[in-house]
Structure 1
């Protein structure tokens, strides 16, 4: 360990040594002496040394080496915090900015996961100072700094609830506020250029780096965050800052959202723009600067690509934003106005298919409920021809009894609407209606159809058939249509009766086997050895039934038999109505 006199001699030698004659061991010794000073708690002495006019040459060429130990003291919140902050501030104003930038970016790359927030908050103002010292050659540095900062922020969990955001345990909200403040002078620089200014390559690069920063921010953390207009949270304010920044750097929102092709965009770029559309049209952030000249149908058509991106995700935050953007984009569209030509667009096919996945596979009830509301809203906006085509598509592709029953229920509503007097569209009464009914009145696997799995669709189809027979006057006007529909009905009911009989025999046999104690124990033993033979309901798989207790199996079988009775009673009623109409 060097004595005080030896240290003074070393410093005196450095003061009188030209920079190009300093050796690597000089740099190492400088760092070692500075670190030792901090470890002894002598930050005030180190600051005094750094600020001494006689030492500015030493500080200028070797001071960057002290950034790491000084930052460590700041992050650890040692007693000498103020002295260490003042020392870092002096270094950032004295050392060469290129070397400072390199050193600060190195510090950003190697942050302990538990100290991300503290490190970022400590570095951001000094990093900004260094970049501003670079003058007209800072664009690349600004880009590198923003990228490094956002990479660290991406490691922090995004608070979801209001309580989590207010607590800000991991510091993401504070870091986002610091990041917005960091970017502000560079945004102002781009914004301040008037129309007469001839943009240089450096100017354009700075604008590009700021655009990248905005798009990354939209993806992380804003796409993951819960944002609501009634709660102007830290992340809400950060989102507002991003949407103010985009037009400020000459990136018009309409051009970015509505006219930039998505075809060759990366998934990340699509997510960023999807979040931008959500903030603009759902949360109304920045909407005052968005031109009102675009028709609701055009906006919907553009947003469908973003909605598709969000609904294809499995993340709750993405699905919530996708459903909200879908609903908001549809609300401004007039009912019964969307033409069938729109259904030929890829997004108008993909979005309902992704929405169907939410309705059938999403485990979260509130998302399924929102999905059903948006699904109906979309149907309401289609014109009659488009509804007809959409219903056919969903009946062919959904492969889910619940969704199919919902479509059949909508078909009945359209038939009822078409029967009303006036210039209503008759597309659900004429010859084209037969092709739709051919899909409705069919069983997926004929007489081998699992009736419980298809129960919802079958019951809704029988209810539609009963309604058509009761209101047969309008349909009988077209003799050929009525006769063909009657043929479809007879074939459907015949197959359904065979299916019900087969299923009832099977389920009755299973129920009988469960009723004796001895057979019950034998049943349990067989369950342990192999899969059960019990058919399943709409919400139960074969594998799940094998895990059921005999009591639950009994309930499933009894419920199946009651369902078959309901189906058969509807068939009987349909046949009674048919006979009554024939007599009249």
Structure 2
């Protein structure tokens, strides 16, 4: 492969051309199928000087052979193993890291799986700065792994088409030996400076792994998937390297210099909180001294982070963490001061976005359950403030109707003996009722889109009027309630009248349209011109089929009748109360 003169050339006299020629000769052997000959050359005792000096350049062609061909793999693997034990470890690491940086997207998992065992061999040969090199390697490997799609379903994970699961298993095995270095053979923590640096690098690896790929994956203890096993390895590693879970989750923001990559730490900690509190991984190592309210307050930051995402995996974790964090909190115990915290405002608003915008039914269903659970935990004043906030900000009739229903439940509860409070019975309640009995667009309000909220508002109004006046007797609330009722019903009647006129006209136009289409059979040309004219005039529902148009218009008119009958009943109740002096 190389003549005697070149074998004996002193290392300082070697030129870049010599390295390139050596690489070309090695590549030619591999291309020609002479894998055995190349291995024999590399193992020959007489060639160890040149192999030590220039062997690094053969790592790339050898690795490509391992990835791309089935024959001669044993020879290539043996050659790579020999180089990792012979070449200078510092130079070899640089070569291997460069190979990682230059990986083709289609060969990421194959290259990583092939390289990881050799990284370990080279690292163990280093005499100093081992921890820093471990950090460089893990960071480089994770950057490449982040380019691979994360399998989500059982089928995708079982197929592992892109090799992400296999790579994660390889990385878990790779880091385990260094965790043992940090903990010491007998499991006790070693405080040497080098071991401290290694501990920090392993912590960064764990936190990056929690963000990518674990935050994207479905992680459930009932489903012992490959990524679940990787997640449990990460969670076991953290306490093993003396990383305090409570410090990471609850107090990391108080530190000026974070132990983890700042740009990624919040998402990483969100995944950590999910695995700890929802899936209970390593929960037995977590201190039991924190109150449920404190845990909720700290987790709200992560809940907010997860619910602000559009990804199903993030939303599932956010909803589950929200529910789990609320479970241990006593009902009616969360003070209004908590709502002043940024996360206690934004997390419910993100939850509202899930309820109104998320296309996945199971997430909306879970979201509604979490919303009710959150409401249950608020004290009376906090409920009052939260309801006001949601009515002002939601801009969605379905959410607003749900809030109004909760308001009615709170008023009913407040009327029971011993439960009286001003937030749902006294003067403070009027400011909330004013928001409920409101049509933001006035007479122009779209009654069909607002139907849920309007019907719940009328039901609340009827409930208030049916109940005895005594709870309000010491204040002017009853008179103000009557005034709000009168103004609301007056505007609602105007709105119903305008809407009924509009939809009746639409229905009449649709019937005319049907007559025109019947004439089309007798006079196609003339009918076509007329239909075109009518369709342009009735553009509001013209994209529907005539049958659907008819159904929608008839339903609208029935809805208006229902609203009007409820209004009439409310007026009758108010008149009865007035006549009997209530």
TM band (smaller chain): over 0.9
- After TM superposition, give the deviation of residue 148 of structure 1 in Å: 1.5
| Cα pair distance change 1:296/1:529, threshold 3 Å | same
Instruction: Provide Cα deviations, 1:296-315, integer angstroms capped at 9, x if missing partner.
Output: 00000000010101111111
* Larger mean Cα displacement after TM superposition, 405-414 or 439-448: 439-448
Q: Is the 8 A contact 1:223 1:318 kept in 2?
A: yes
Instruction: Provide Cα deviations, 1:213-247, integer angstroms capped at 9, x if missing partner.
Output: 11111111000000111122111111111112222
Pick one of 300, 303, 307 that aligns with 1:307. Answer: 303
Pick one of 564, 569, 574 that aligns with 2:565. Answer: 569
Pick one of 399, 403, 406 that aligns with 2:399. Answer: 403
Q: Is the 8 A contact 1:227 1:235 kept in 2?
A: yes
Pick one of 456, 461, 464 that aligns with 2:457. Answer: 461
CA distance in 2, matches of 1:172, 1:372: 35
Number of residue pairs the alignment of both structures matches: 564
Aligned to 1:363: 359
Are 2:506 and 1:504 equivalent residues in the alignment?
Answer: no
- After TM superposition, give the deviation of residue 203 of structure 1 in Å: 4.0
Aligned to 2:532: 525
- After TM superposition, give the deviation of residue 495 of structure 1 in Å: 1.0
Are 2:64 and 1:68 equivalent residues in the alignment?
Answer: no
- After TM superposition, give the deviation of residue 112 of structure 1 in Å: 2.4
Q: Is the 8 A contact 1:524 1:550 kept in 2?
A: no
Aligned to 1:478: 474
CA distance in 1, matches of 2:70, 2:7: 30
Q: Is the 8 A contact 1:117 1:175 kept in 2?
A: yes
Are 2:324 and 1:325 equivalent residues in the alignment?
Answer: no
Aligned to 1:56: 48
CA distance in 2, matches of 1:493, 1:519: 40
Q: Is the 8 A contact 1:430 1:478 kept in 2?
A: no
- After TM superposition, give the deviation of residue 278 of structure 1 in Å: 0.7
Pick one of 11, 24, 30 that aligns with 1:19. Answer: 11
Q: Is the 8 A contact 2:447 2:499 kept in 1?
A: yes
- After TM superposition, give the deviation of residue 453 of structure 1 in Å: 1.7
Tell me the secondary structure at the aligned position of residue 223 of structure 1: helix
Pick one of 222, 229, 240 that aligns with 1:230. Answer: 222
CA distance in 1, matches of 2:200, 2:161: 33
Instruction: Provide Cα deviations, 1:419-463, integer angstroms capped at 9, x if missing partner.
Output: 112345453111111111111111112222121121111000001
CA distance in 2, matches of 1:316, 1:333: 26
Pick one of 259, 274, 277 that aligns with 1:278. Answer: 274
Aligned to 1:45: 37
Q: Describe how 1:413-424 pairs up with structure 2 within 5 A.
A: 413-424=409-420
Instruction: Provide Cα deviations, 1:21-72, integer angstroms capped at 9, x if missing partner.
Output: 2233322222222222222222122212211211111110011111111111
Are 2:75 and 1:94 equivalent residues in the alignment?
Answer: no
- After TM superposition, give the deviation of residue 77 of structure 1 in Å: 3.6
Aligned to 1:251: 243
Q: Is the 8 A contact 1:527 1:546 kept in 2?
A: no
Pick one of 206, 209, 222 that aligns with 2:201. Answer: 209
CA distance in 1, matches of 2:63, 2:425: 77
Consecutive unaligned residues of structure 1, counting only runs of 5 or more, are: 1-6, 535-544
| Cα pair distance change 1:402/1:527, threshold 3 Å | farther
Aligned to 1:537: none
Q: Is the 8 A contact 1:429 1:474 kept in 2?
A: no
Are 2:144 and 1:152 equivalent residues in the alignment?
Answer: yes
Aligned to 1:542: none
Q: Is the 8 A contact 1:307 1:323 kept in 2?
A: yes
Q: Is the 8 A contact 1:475 1:481 kept in 2?
A: no
Q: Is the 8 A contact 1:470 1:577 kept in 2?
A: yes
Aligned to 1:580: 576
Q: Describe how 1:135-214 pairs up with structure 2 within 5 A.
A: 135-192=127-184, 199-200=192-193, 202-214=194-206
CA distance in 1, matches of 2:487, 2:16: 94
Tell me the secondary structure at the aligned position of residue 411 of structure 1: helix
Pick one of 21, 27, 33 that aligns with 1:29. Answer: 21
CA distance in 1, matches of 2:10, 2:534: 88
Instruction: Provide Cα deviations, 1:91-141, integer angstroms capped at 9, x if missing partner.
Output: 001100111011111111222222221111101100111122113312222
| Cα pair distance change 1:262/1:522, threshold 3 Å | farther
Aligned to 1:539: none
| Cα pair distance change 1:34/1:469, threshold 3 Å | same
CA distance in 2, matches of 1:509, 1:23: 91
CA distance in 1, matches of 2:286, 2:351: 28
CA distance in 1, matches of 2:254, 2:369: 28
Consecutive unaligned residues of structure 2, counting only runs of 5 or more, are: 518-527
Instruction: Provide Cα deviations, 1:233-266, integer angstroms capped at 9, x if missing partner.
Output: 1111111111122222232110010011189985
Q: Is the 8 A contact 2:422 2:429 kept in 1?
A: no
TM-score (norm 1): 0.92
CA distance in 1, matches of 2:429, 2:280: 42
Pick one of 482, 485, 491 that aligns with 1:489. Answer: 485
TM-score (norm 2): 0.92
CA distance in 1, matches of 2:255, 2:239: 24
Aligned to 2:443: 447
Q: Is the 8 A contact 1:225 1:235 kept in 2?
A: yes
CA distance in 1, matches of 2:263, 2:564: 51
Q: Is the 8 A contact 2:427 2:475 kept in 1?
A: no
CA distance in 2, matches of 1:447, 1:581: 29
| Cα pair distance change 1:262/1:283, threshold 3 Å | farther
CA distance in 2, matches of 1:199, 1:113: 39
